[in-house]
Amino acid sequence: MSSLQMPKVDDVVLSKKDKIASDLSVIINSKNVLSNPDELRPFETDGLTAYRQMPLLVVMPETVEEVSQILKYCNENKIKVVPRGAGTGLSGGSMPLKDCVLMAMGKFNKIIEIDYENRCVVTQPCVTNLAITHAVQDKGFYYAPDPSSQIACSIGGNVAENSGGVHSLKYGATTNNLLGIEVVLMDGTITKFGGKAMDAEGYDFLGLMTGSEGLLGVITEVTVKILKSPEVVKAALVGFPSIEDAGNCVAEIIAEGCIPAGMEIMDKALTKATNDYSKAGYPTDAEAMMIVEFDGTEHEVEAYIDKAKQIAEKNNSTSLKISKSNKERLKFWAGRKAAFPACGVLAPDYMCMDGSIPRGKLAEVLNEISKLSKKYNLAVANAFHAGDGNLHPLIMFDANDKESLRKCEEFGADILKYCVKVGGALTGEHGVGIEKRELMCEAFNDKDIQQQLTIKVALDPNSLLNPGKVYPILRKCAEEGRVHVHGGKTKFPDIPRF
């Protein structure tokens, strides 16, 4: 994995490390410029721990003016900059470069304003996703996008990656819940896109920046909309005799006009593993298990749960349990959210993929994954955000065995290619980063990629901001990366994943 090709290292920048550190110490408080290896070590990787690289320096600005001056300085001196939020990303988006200044935004950790009248929160970017909900829940509000790492991931990182979550089926991803951002461009320009008034005029830079993976600007302030918490939330736990039945049930629920708050499927392997791990009371004899959740008023939720129940029965469900309390509902989810650590018990290592497919292709894609599993002789467990066709196969392998690792990487790439082949996407919510960079040509042709690169060059002519991410360097479809976990040790083992 050390063979990952990154942009050419600028030896001149490397040789000027001390000078750069001293220049930056004039711009910001010198205690916020880190240069000793011991200080840099915590920043050498993000949630994609298979890749590690020490940065040249780390800066920790405290104000937007400092961010602006640092970027301006780096731009003028042709120094690469990698922005970083909480560092929980799963695609290597904030992995440092050897010759980069890593801009750690951790000091931007305050909520600026809670505005109930306009139903929004204005916050600094390194406030965690969950902290926003915590700040407004006493008034019955919450922030809808809920990536499973929400206890630790930053809202600025959510914007950079356009993070989703279990509830994006009904409430959308970050981009649909964002009102405005303040951004600093690579040349130091500070500007705001959007704000408390919806749909700002002109080109939708807010939409362009969201999901741009830190390549176009550094986010220094975020305004998100908050929603009133639903009155009632109920979930049903349903077992199926086959993955086809589960897949058909999902498609039919959607086609019937019910939009659940969340709808998840796990295959037998994962159902068993997660049940053993978290004692969630799952139907372990079922070939596939579905959790479907509805929210709203009491009557609304009852009506939808009834409909879902009928559809499940029509599709041969073998068991069906409806949550009777919030505690029970959370127990249903506990297993699903512990899928990562549960897999850690099954094999020394696993890689988590993140593809997106049309809902109707669930069974077909699962069959293909099953065939590939036999071909590569590697076990796989599958979890899906089935409602919106986002799948997370977990491939088991042994990283100490080079052949096993190679097979795992090929297996993963084959799955993603198949996702694209059936009309899906390479990544549903984890981002491209360094992980799927070389697979971009599966989804896009040269013209498509060139158009995107032209936008990048328009805003960052020297390609200094987070280079080597998202867009292919090799211009061929290599098989790289994935979320690699060894011995159950993720970078943040205590954080729920996907």
> Between residues 301 and 381, which has the closer beta carbon with respect to another protein?
301
Task: Tell which one of 423, 475, 487, 493 touches another protein (CB under 8 A).
Answer: 423
Which long-range CB contacts under 8 A does 379-382 form with residues at least 24 apart?
379/269, 379/346, 379/347, 380/269, 380/411, 381/266, 381/267, 381/269, 381/270, 381/273, 381/339, 381/343, 381/346, 381/350, 382/265, 382/266, 382/267, 382/269, 382/270
Task: Tell which one of 142, 304, 333, 498 touches another protein (CB under 8 A).
Answer: 304
> Between residues 297 and 400, which has the closer beta carbon with respect to another protein?
297
DSSP state of 31: G
State the number of binding residues for another protein (CB under 8 A): 92
Of residues 443-482, those binding another protein (CB under 8 A): 443-444, 447-449, 451-452, 454-455, 457-459, 470-471
Task: Tell which one of 299, 324, 374, 476 touches another protein (CB under 8 A).
Answer: 299
In 30-108, which residue ranges form alpha helices assigned H by DSSP?
A: 37-40, 64-76
User: In the complex, what is the shortest distance from the CB of residue 105 to another protein, in angstroms, rounded to a whole number?
Assistant: 20
User: In the complex, what is the shortest distance from the CB of residue 383 to another protein, in angstroms, rounded to a whole number?
Assistant: 14
Of residues 107-136, those binding another protein (CB under 8 A): 115-119
Using the structure block, give the residue that is written with the tokens 């089926």: 169
Strands 57-59 and 380-385, bridge-based pairing: unpaired
Span of 62-70, 260-268, 396-404, 421-429 interacting with another protein by CB under 8 A: 421-429
Contact 131, 147 (CB under 8 A): no
Determine if 338 is a binding residue for another protein (CB under 8 A): no
Determine if 249 is a binding residue for another protein (CB under 8 A): no
Determine if 352 is a binding residue for another protein (CB under 8 A): no
Determine if 269 is a binding residue for another protein (CB under 8 A): no
Task: Tell which one of 61, 125, 341, 389 touches another protein (CB under 8 A).
Answer: 389
Task: Tell which one of 69, 128, 149, 210 touches another protein (CB under 8 A).
Answer: 210
Contact 361, 424 (CB under 8 A): yes
User: In the complex, what is the shortest distance from the CB of residue 108 to another protein, in angstroms, rounded to a whole number?
Assistant: 21
- State the Cα–Cα distance between residues 280 and 147, nearest whole angstrom: 21
- State the Cα–Cα distance between residues 316 and 297, nearest whole angstrom: 29
Task: Tell which one of 106, 188, 230, 241 touches another protein (CB under 8 A).
Answer: 230
